Structure formats: structure tokens, C-alpha cells
């Protein structure tokens, strides 16, 4: 990890004076804005904290972590690679790796928004790019991401709603399984539009939980399931496309991937065996595409 070279500063304006954040008297623990001397803290491991008000984030993470402690403490990446979801994870990664490899070049600057533990870095890093930045507001998860060898070149802790990233900074924003957690999803998409360079690429992954099969599962077969997740948005390919279109994106394309069995216990079992996973995925793709497990969407900002 390379945070010590401070190149991550390129992506931010100072939240105090709004000028480009420039390096001035860096110490082991802080960086100062050259213009106004606003202080920015670095964690012990060198992670920059670019946030105006850390208190509400800390409180939110602590509260949410209380009833879902495993979510914060478990090794999510290891779980994805080795647990029951490994075939799903592999299928998704293979899909987006192929799509993204055609869209990126050695000059591409990529942001993985809501990178969490960095589950997607090991693949993003193998794709053509110039810089890869991981951005998330959960320090615990970012510190875990930092430990992985294949981690992003730059990791920054911040809250996207503070709108501190610089306009037109990225060629691609990659955002996997984040917007379904966020109340004001339209605002996030507007910000993505702002932070992309003209012609830049948005690549989103979301669960297809607005499908008929998931709605029946959540309302009739396993009522109360929705209250147990921290998802607040339940999309279909149509509803997520509309949202992206409302934020002025163009050239919107979606792909439905995987299958869902309408009971989470059986679904997990079927997905954990490669033959059933592959067979049901293939069948779903041919016959019940709209009832898939996830949706991937790509779109462009106007050139």
C-alpha cells in the first residue's frame, strides 16, 4: 500500500477552503491543507480520513454493528472465496472482469466506491488501469482491505454524502452491492455523475430483489426477511435503469445473472454445490432471466 506517497490527494478538495488539497508539512499522523491549514488525520497504518464529521459515522457503524457483529468482524473476503457463496462470487467476478477489461485502458483511473474489505480489488488490480482508489466510510473494513496483498493503490476513508471528491476525477466508478443499502440512492448516482470524467463509465452491481420471485419470498414464504437485512432498496433491472437515467447517464445496459430459489436456506444450499449452481444459473438465464439473483449495469456520462 502506497498511501504514504499522498497521491490520493489528487482526488480531493479541502472541505474547509474548497481549494485543491495540497500537501503541506506532512507528519506521520496528519496532512495539512496548504491554503487554510485544515488538518487531515492519517490512521496509524497511513489511511487518510477525509471527513468533516466522523461522529455520526462512528455511531451509525457501532449501532449497525451491534446486531450484525459478524458483518463487521468476519473475514468477508475469505467467506466469499471459500464459503457457500463461492460459486456465486466466482460467476459474478468472471462476468464483470470480462466486461470491464474491454472498457479500461492503462490510463484509466478507477474508484471502487464502498469497497469495504476490498473483496473486488484482487480482480480490479489485474485489469488495465493507472490508479485504483478504494473509498469507504467504515474504517474497520478499510483496515482489513489494506492488509490484503492485492489491495488498491490508494484507500481513503470518507462519506460520499459530504461531497468532497473532486469533480471529473474518474474514468470508471465501480460500485458493487452498495446502493441497495442507501436511502438516498438517487443522490449517490448524481454524485457518481459529477465525479466521472466526460464519457466516463459507471459499473453497478445490485441484487435483483424487486423481482417477482424475491417479492413472493419476502412477503409470503419468509415474511420478515426484509427487516433482517440492511437493504433499503429492492431493485429490478427496470427500476435501477430508471434511477441511473434520472441522473443523466446514457447508454444504459443491464445484465441479469444467476438464479434465486424462493427460500434463503434452500437457495444457499443449491448455490453451494457447483453442479446445481451452474445448472440452475444456466436454466434461469435461458428461461427466467428477469428472476435472476443479481443485476449488473453499465452506463456512461455524456462525452
Distance CA 26, CA 235 (A): 44
Span from 164-172, 174-182, 236-244, 269-277 in contact with ligand SAM (CB under 6 A): 174-182
The CA radius of gyration of the chain, in Å to the nearest whole number, is 20
Question: Which of ligand SAM, Zn ion, none interacts with 115 (beta carbon under 5 to 8 A by kind)?
Answer: ligand SAM
Per CB under 6 A, does 178 bind ligand SAM?
A: yes
Question: Which of Zn ion, ligand SAM, none interacts with 9 (beta carbon under 5 to 8 A by kind)?
Answer: none
Total of chain residues touching ligand SAM, rule CB under 6 A: 17
Q: How far is the CB of 35 from ligand SAM (least distance, A)?
A: 25
Per CB under 6 A, does 192 bind ligand SAM?
A: no
Cβ 174 vs Cβ 297: under 8 Å: no
Please pick, from the candidates 84, 139, 182, 252, the single residue that binds ligand SAM as defined by CB under 6 A: 182
Exposed/middle/buried for residue 106 (C-beta within 10 Å: 0-12, 13-18, 19+): exposed
Please give the order of strands across the beta sheet that includes 131-136: 30-32, 39-42, 48-49, 154-157, 131-136, 109-113, 170-176, 196-207, 294-300, 250-257
The residue (of 115 and 196) whose beta carbon lies closer to ligand SAM is 115
Interactions with ligand SAM, residue window 137-166 (CB under 6 A): 137-138, 141, 159-161
Question: Which of Zn ion, ligand SAM, none interacts with 119 (beta carbon under 5 to 8 A by kind)?
Answer: ligand SAM
The residue (of 34 and 231) whose beta carbon lies closer to ligand SAM is 231
242: Cα separation from own chain's centroid: 19
Question: Which of Zn ion, ligand SAM, none interacts with 293 (beta carbon under 5 to 8 A by kind)?
Answer: none
Chain contacts with Zn ion (rule: CB under 5 A): 14, 16-17, 33, 35-36, 38
153: Cα separation from own chain's centroid: 16
Distance CA 8, CA 11 (A): 6
Place of cell 459507471: 202
Site string for ligand SAM, 72-111 (x = CB under 6 A): ----------------------------------------
Interactions with ligand SAM, residue window 111-140 (CB under 6 A): 114-116, 119-120, 136-138
Span from 97-105, 171-179, 192-200, 216-224 in contact with ligand SAM (CB under 6 A): 171-179
Question: Which of ligand SAM, Zn ion, none interacts with 160 (beta carbon under 5 to 8 A by kind)?
Answer: ligand SAM
Q: How far is the CB of 28 from ligand SAM (least distance, A)?
A: 25
Distance CA 293, CA 256 (A): 7
Per CB under 6 A, does 169 bind ligand SAM?
A: no
Residues near ligand SAM (CB under 6 A) are 114-116, 119-120, 136-138, 141, 159-161, 176-178, 181-182
Amino acid at each position: 500500500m502506497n498511501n504514504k506517497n499522498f497521491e490520493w490527494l489528487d482526488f480531493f478538495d479541502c472541505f474547509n477552503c474548497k481549494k485543491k488539497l495540497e500537501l503541506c508539512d506532512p507528519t506521520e499522523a496528519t496532512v495539512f491543507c496548504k491554503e487554510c491549514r485544515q488538518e487531515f488525520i492519517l490512521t496509524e497504518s497511513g489511511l487518510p480520513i477525509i471527513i468533516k464529521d466522523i461522529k455520526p459515522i462512528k455511531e451509525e457503524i457501532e449501532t449497525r454493528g451491534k446486531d450484525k457483529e459478524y458483518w463487521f468482524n468476519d473475514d468477508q473476503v475469505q467467506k466469499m472465496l471459500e464459503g457457500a457463496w463461492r460459486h456465486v462470487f466466482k460467476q459474478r467476478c468472471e462476468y464483470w472482469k470480462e466486461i470491464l477489461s474491454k472498457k479500461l485502458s492503462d490510463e484509466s483511473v478507477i474508484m471502487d466506491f464502498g469497497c469495504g474489505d476490498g473483496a473486488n480489488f484482487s480482480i480490479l488490480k489485474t485489469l488495465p488501469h493507472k490508479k485504483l482508489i478504494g473509498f469507504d466510510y467504515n474504517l474497520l473494513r478499510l483496515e482489513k482491505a489494506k492488509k490484503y496483498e492485492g489491495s488498491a493503490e490508494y484507500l481513503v476513508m470518507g462519506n460520499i454524502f459530504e461531497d468532497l471528491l473532486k469533480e471529473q476525477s474518474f474514468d470508471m466508478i465501480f460500485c458493487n452491492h452498495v446502493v441497495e443499502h442507501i436511502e438516498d440512492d438517487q443522490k449517490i448516482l448524481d454524485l457518481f455523475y459529477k465525479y466521472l470524467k466526460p464519457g466516463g463509465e459507471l459499473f453497478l452491481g445490485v441484487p435483483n430483489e424487486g423481482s417477482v420471485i424475491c417479492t413472493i419470498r419476502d412477503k409470503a414464504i419468509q415474511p420478515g426477511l426484509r427487516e433482517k437485512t440492511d437493504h433499503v432498496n429492492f431493485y429490478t433491472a427496470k427500476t435501477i435503469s430508471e434511477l441511473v437515467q434520472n441522473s443523466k447517464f446514457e447508454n444504459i445496459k443491464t445484465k441479469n445473472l444467476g438464479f434465486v430459489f424462493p427460500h434463503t436456506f434452500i437457495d444457499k444450499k443449491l448455490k453451494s454445490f457447483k453442479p446445481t449452481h451452474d445448472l440452475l444459473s444456466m436454466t434461469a438465464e435461458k428461461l427466467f432471466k428477469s428472476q435472476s439473483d443479481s443485476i449488473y449495469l453499465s452506463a456512461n456520462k455524456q462525452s
